[in-house]
A and B are shown apart, each in its own frame.
Chain A
Amino acid sequence: GAVVSQHPSRVICKSGTSVKIECRSLDFQATTMFWYRQFPKQSLMLMATSNEGSKATYEQGVEKDKFLINHASLTLSTLTVTSAHPEDSSFYICSARVGMNTEAFFGQGTRLTVV
């Protein structure tokens, strides 16, 4: 399958700082990228959908000013968690796909711990 690379895999940051997570499609151009959050023993929760060159569409309850998403190219999307707090600690996963009804491929995930 296609390869999606996500970095960093693990990050620990201090409360109040910002963290940037990168998601890259390595061998295909991703028209759409998704960002998810997963708390322990819970299902994936979609945070936002981003299409290259346009503003991200955020799910209800997700603060767009706190979770900044940039999708500047067909192979790169970034998620910045601004002014992180301990309750933002979670597993963040990106996914990417080529077309509307094609399968999605996932990055390795980023485990964020805010102390």
Chain B
Amino acid sequence: RKEVEQDPGPFNVPEGATVAFNCTYSNSASQSFFWYRQDCRKEPKLLMSVYSSGNEDGRFTAQLNRASQYISLLIRDSKLSDSATYLCVVTDSWGKLQFGAGTQVVVTP
């Protein structure tokens, strides 16, 4: 079983709509959680950290559910520029980064 699992998608989202997807992790001792976005043929860029109480950054909301071992990302009012692959990243108790394979989001006009 992979350490971090994501639905690969693609999630096809009309512009202006809301999309949400999850990421599950297997190690209950995981310490920190992040969402990154990666555009085609580019490096990943930090989108947001995920805090225990949940956090919001503009149109993006991240949640952490430790009991069920998943994190989620919700994008409201989707823009064409939100089309990307969203990577879930989890650090284990040794601080090692574990990457999900990514969820592809395609926002359509």
Contact = CB atoms under 8 A, between A and B. Distances in A.
Contacts of B94: 100
B49 interface: yes
Interface of B: 31-32, 34, 41-46, 49, 87, 89, 91, 94-97, 99-102
B41 A32 contact: no
Q: How large is the interface on A (under 10, 10 to 19, 20 to 34, 35 or more residues)?
A: 20 to 34
Nearest to A36: B99
Contacts, number: 49
A103 interface: yes
A19 interface: no
A107 B46 CA distance: 12
Contacts of B97: 34, 46, 95, 104
Contact of A101 (B46, B91, B102): B91
Contacts of B101: 42-43
Interface in A64-112: 91, 93, 95, 99-109, 111
